Homo-oligomer: A and B are copies of this chain.
């Protein structure tokens, strides 16, 4: 069937065209419209679907007819998307999806509409063929891009109804184009902002320079204190809880199709950098980091303004690996900054959001089932991959529902999630539909 006339592709494009931007309150109506669209879609394929209110955006729940003799898989996804800005960098408008060279371009095409919709259609096709090999519960939230604020509470309140044997999620990227991938780890996150205060107001850098501590210099010195020369994080105790990679993991990283050259090309750099002693794949997936997301202070305009700034700030996020905990890392970081504070300035340290890292044993029975399904659909042994990003809700799934998640990547490594020209290969979408069906069978074994 021609891609452009495939009704499944047309339906996905309709889904993508709803501007369900959770971060922007102007889109509150679109959020509800999108959730309602999903409910109708789920009902049309034979699921018992409903919209559940939360204190934020509604959650969509869709369930197949329940056979108590069968195991149950919960499939999680999200219908909200990142803000599309900057709009001028999009080749086609973010909410008027367009197919070019086999890819659907639009905000949310990969993250997460294309991926969750493949699962929904997979279940629909399986249902059309007869009873499912496992019970299926869809849980599709509308606040993933703004921290899944109300999901843990929802899970907790509905833990009976959501009880399951497996959790499956497609919200990650393949190790290489078309290469089946099971992501068995995600990093956690801990965010912090440090504000450095000096003089009551900006001072003349000639009249006071040399006698008054400079908050911009102090902020820079604190940032510089975060790493040693080998690129390791220099916060005392930072690596204390890190579970080192097993030998098979280092082997898997070495064999990963996610090559250093590909990472450099995608990042647009000529040279990679980072902690000594680990490959780039290992540094992204299996090593914690301290990354400055923003720094600022003093004169930001053109040319020179000879001020000694009154204040400066930096924003840092730590990415964590098993078994680090965000609260502990924020505490160590706070102690580090207080200890390294240069004389003459005052610090204000603000803790931001945190999320636990995630690690699944891919050689566990559900991990093996997921790998079999991936191999069946893609005809290749799947790559085992640790992801650098964070999906903090995974830790809640594990804590509240008692099940770890299977992360079956469908996004392209070049999907531009969160960036202009986000896209999703039609091929991955159709493979995702087949993958869902294979997965239901493998999980039933």
Binding site for B on A (CB under 8 A): 23, 82-83, 89, 146, 173, 187, 189, 191, 193, 198-214, 216-217, 219-221, 223-227, 263, 267-269, 271-275, 280-281, 283-284, 287, 289, 291-300, 303-309, 312, 314-315, 317, 319, 342-345, 352-353, 387-390, 416-420
Contacts and interface: CB of A to CB of B under 8 A. Distances in A.
Given A271-B343, A293-B306, A294-B309, A390 B226 contact: no
B217 A227 contact: yes
Nearest to A299: B294
The 4 nearest A-B residue pairs measured at CB: A200-B268, A273-B344, A206-B389, A224-B224
B213 A269 contact: yes
A395 to B, nearest CB: 15
A317 B204 CA distance: 11
Contacts of A297: 292, 294-296
B352 A304 contact: yes
B203 A272 contact: no
B284 A209 contact: yes
B275 A210 contact: yes
A205 B390 CA distance: 10
A308 B291 contact: yes
B212 A273 contact: yes
A136 to B, nearest CB: 28
Given A208-B267, A216-B294, A271-B343, 12 more contacts: A208-B388, A212-B273, A213-B274, A216-B295, A219-B220, A224-B224, A224-B225, A273-B343, A273-B344, A294-B297, A294-B299, A299-B315
A192 to B, nearest CB: 9
Contacts of A283: 210-211
Given A207-B284, A317-B304, A269 B198 contact: yes
B389 A292 contact: no
Contacts of A417: 204, 207
B211 A220 contact: no
Q: Choose among A210, A219, A353 the residue with the greatest number of B CB atoms under 10 Å from its CB.
A: A210
A417 to B, nearest CB: 6
Contacts of A309: 292-294
Given A206-B389, A227-B217, A295 B298 contact: yes
Contacts of A306: 189, 191, 291, 293, 317, 418
A293 B284 contact: no
A198 B268 CA distance: 8
Given A204-B417, A314-B216, A418-B306, A211 B299 contact: no
Contacts of A267: 199-200, 203, 208, 211-212
Contacts of A344: 269, 271-273
A370 to B, nearest CB: 21
Nearest to A217: B292
Contact of A214 (B198, B212, B292, B345): B292
A221 to B, nearest CB: 5
